[in-house]
Structure 1
């Protein structure tokens, strides 16, 4: 009986059209843009150019299946592929970026609204700096980079399945000082496009009966908890080979949940840098800092932002460099989480962070 049922099910599925197999509320998006590179350092003026970009995305329009979806007014989430040849630049080459993204509604109705999109992913540049073959590209020193896309866009629904949009974008490439040079590429642009739902999306659902809370979600009680995070990364100090440091750090934060969306916290950071080469054995450095933090929660994922100041060295108290941390956390049911992000000094990349916490 089971074999017969399985055979009938497979046959029935095989008779379905491709469109019928697509899950609910998924969509395809295509857009094009026009922008320019910002010469944010004097040395980068030679790289300045105007260019056209293209972007393809597959995404999901949330409709209330999870609690966070209607708490954030039904955002869109997706995966985007971005490309530009920077007006056939012989110095920079082609750039590709793969961004997972989330698009938050800011103002308006489901039929016509202003949104903000954040995408963070991996970028690939075909012509990074090379001391012999491409010494003019002092913006980027590696093929692989972090890619960040910010987008303020207006969306207007023409039909239940078709949405047109237009907006202002900001695209950034950087390797987080993993390999110098790393001035980075910054490019604002304007873009237009459309989204198409192969299947009519589900209606938005604001459930009156809330789903079960997980241990990393806010339950309405007034409490605070301690979060311990260990992270590490590699920092390249100069154009020379073998001049890299391994950075390891511990962060301890006292976190206060404000509501289902946001947490605030204060913390202490201890970071130690030591050389990866024998020649740099005397370059050990330890930094201590205090910081304030803001966490934005999206179910099992949260965005963490912290800003702090170095407060003392082992032998003296002093007011040192400002530093910033921006990271993503993925939370597990047992309280552990993974940690990935960027640490910066006065807005300039220090190192890319990989870590775990509890």
Structure 2
């Protein structure tokens, strides 16, 4: 996949925060500055990475958060979350893995808040860079990372307690994941369960919202709609074949706005993965009648809405699958952003039973 495409995932999250951040500047939305140390271990989620799950990576993070104030309706629906940017460094204490550098954009949702304490849940995504990666000649043991740029996903539970009027002690438990979505192989990815300790500087504490009145319900509440979209992705078939094969899909979806925060979705889609055709040709004998590699499926899904931005989760089942190269079902996680009322874009990770299949770059229209 072309490298510039990998920056689109965090960009969508940042775009989702542009309008609220502009409104917050007018209202002098308060900032939170943080610095944390991290201790982790590598989760051996498959036997292929067992030989690398022996060290204890350590990391350091700097972040900047902006407190939403009620300038947008969705701020009050989510009880005034924070929107943040973070820079994360890890040393894996293993020459096979080296270090990583990441930039993430995230949302931090308050689960419980008092004058002196906060319990927050953080969800973010971004781009990670690994200077040391798989090389068949010089670093063949690195089955985790085969590309310099990787997508990163981050979940975290954070407890912040006031040490003074503006300084807070932060304790956290999290999970960091790095993967290139099978764009290049090997790509088993790396999962880092993490413990955090650090300090937060709060520009305003306790938090005082700009607008505490209930936000009006969205005009789309209770309405149904259609989405039509197409996607493009690229994937490497295996470590001995360096070519990137295109993967396409076409999707038709019916959606319904069930409440302020959620859309429920049901759709049908077709897939054409050219790497499967190359795989068949490698294994077939002369004169064999090759099965069709095209697939068709149906899925149900959910969209968690934050203004123009949505977190997407789908569960699908193949209805037409002559060449059974994978499980009968698939999952999809991603980000969706409405550029206009009608036109949207997605960055999705399609997965088969926990194993990445392809990163899909989607463009669609809402009808």
TM-score interval, normalised by the smaller of the two chains: 0.7 to 0.9
Instruction: Quote the residue 1:79 is aligned against.
Output: 85
Instruction: Quote the residue 1:346 is aligned against.
Output: 353
- When the two chains are superposed, the root-mean-square deviation of aligned CA atoms in Å is 2.7
In structure 2, the CA distance between the partners of 1:199 and 1:322, relative to structure 1 (3 Å rule), is same
* Cα shift at 1:241: 3.2
In the alignment, does 2:56 pair up with 1:50? yes
TM-score (ref. length: structure 1): 0.84
Contact kept? 1:301, 1:331, Cα under 8 Å: yes
* Cα shift at 1:246: 0.7
Contact kept? 2:76, 2:214, Cα under 8 Å: no
TM-score (ref. length: structure 2): 0.82
Contact kept? 1:166, 1:191, Cα under 8 Å: yes
Contact kept? 2:231, 2:362, Cα under 8 Å: yes
Instruction: Quote the residue 1:17 is aligned against.
Output: none
Instruction: Quote the residue 1:231 is aligned against.
Output: 231
1:99 pairs with one of 101, 104, 117: 104
Measured in 1, the distance between the counterparts of 2:279 and 2:316 equals: 32
Measured in 2, the distance between the counterparts of 1:283 and 1:242 equals: 24
Count of residues in correspondence between the two structures = 329
Measured in 2, the distance between the counterparts of 1:117 and 1:174 equals: 19
Instruction: Quote the residue 1:61 is aligned against.
Output: 67
Contact kept? 2:108, 2:121, Cα under 8 Å: yes
* Cα shift at 1:202: 6.1
1:76-225 matched pairs, under 5 angstroms: 76-87=82-93, 89-109=94-114, 111-198=116-203, 203-208=208-213, 210=215, 218-219=218-219, 221-225=221-225
Ranked by relative contact order (alpha carbons within 8 Å, sequence separation 6 or more), the top structure is 2
Instruction: Quote the residue 1:309 is aligned against.
Output: 317
Where structure 1 has 5 or more consecutive residues not aligned to the other structure, the ranges are: 1-21
In structure 2, the CA distance between the partners of 1:205 and 1:158, relative to structure 1 (3 Å rule), is farther
Instruction: For residue 46 of structure 1, give the secondary structure of its aligned residue in structure 2.
Output: helix
* Cα shift at 1:43: 2.7
Larger radius of gyration: 1
Measured in 2, the distance between the counterparts of 1:58 and 1:86 equals: 25
Measured in 2, the distance between the counterparts of 1:94 and 1:202 equals: 37
Measured in 2, the distance between the counterparts of 1:247 and 1:72 equals: 36
The range that moved more, 260-269 or 324-333, is 324-333
Superposed CA deviations along residues 294-314 of structure 1, whole A, max 9, x for unmatched, are 011001111111111111237
1:329 pairs with one of 305, 312, 336: 336
Contact kept? 1:244, 1:277, Cα under 8 Å: no
Measured in 2, the distance between the counterparts of 1:262 and 1:40 equals: 31
